Amino acid sequence: MTDRQRRTVRLLLVVVAIGLAVTAVAAATPAGRTLVVEDADSGEQLLTTPVSDGTPVVLSYTHSVEKTPVHDIYVVRNDSLVMTGMEFQSYGWGLPARANVTRENGSFTFDPQGRYEELYVKPGRTAGHRLRVGNTSYDLVARSDAEGVRLHLTERSVLQNTLDTLDS
């Protein structure tokens, strides 16, 4: 092997070592919290989106009997989704008939108590389930093909976020 070939091999080894070091650091560096929506049965990730404390997460759907909109309102707090409100326009099956409900802007509202590490939802074509995270809205029915989903929070690394971005 010539001196030039040895230098080339050494340079290549240095570049590979630097690449591995950068990848290791990116894999170990937390990028922050992420809301994950995954298939409830297979665990396949259908959506990942960054969140932080205070990010609103709203599940909206049409009540199957009343045919009126319902909004379940959560906020990200630490590693949980905290339910901070529910808005609906008419009473029907599954809606809070005995809760301390107020009327605001034409809707009934109340503040249910609930802190969840995970939520399971069965998006329905009739209900038209949508998920709003911050200012971005997602069609849960289309993303899940109307199959059950699990929502939860996780810490993601810089590498995971980068790979997810490249996949999208």
Residue range 17-64, pLDDT digits in tens: 776 666 666 556 556 899 999 999 999 999 999 999 999 999 999 987
Q: The tokens 């665990």 sit on which residue?
A: 43
pLDDT at 101: 79
The verdict on residue 94 lying in a domain is yes
Q: How many structural domains is the chain composed of? A: 1
Report the pLDDT value the prediction gives residue 154, as an integer from 0 to 100.
93
* pLDDT (0 to 100) of residue 159: 66
Q: Report pLDDT for 107.
A: 83
2 found inside a domain: no
Residue 89: give the domain boundaries: 31-167
pLDDT at residue 160, rounded to an integer: 64
Residue labelled with tokens 């298939």 = 39
Which has more pLDDT, 31 or 70? 70
- 11: pLDDT strictly greater than 90: no
Contact indicator for 110, 96 with CB cutoff of 8 Å: yes
Instruction: With respect to residue 8, please indicate whether it lies within any of the assigned structural domains.
Output: no
Cβ-based neighbours of 125, under 8 Å, separated by 6 or more: 141, 146
Confidence of residue 89 (pLDDT cuts 50, 70, 90): confident
- In this predicted model, which residue has the larger pLDDT, 103 or 47? 47
Give yes or no for residue 168 having a pLDDT over 70.
no
Q: 107-110 and 102-104: which strand pairing?
A: antiparallel
pLDDT digit string, tens, across residues 104-156: 888 878 888 889 999 999 999 999 999 999 999 999 999 999 999 999 999 86
Beta bridge partners of 118: 152
Say if 97 falls within a structural domain.
Answer: yes
Residue 147 lies in a domain: yes
Considering the domain boundaries, does residue 40 fall inside one? yes
Which amino acid, one-letter code, is at 49?
A: T
Is the residue at 101 inside a domain?
yes
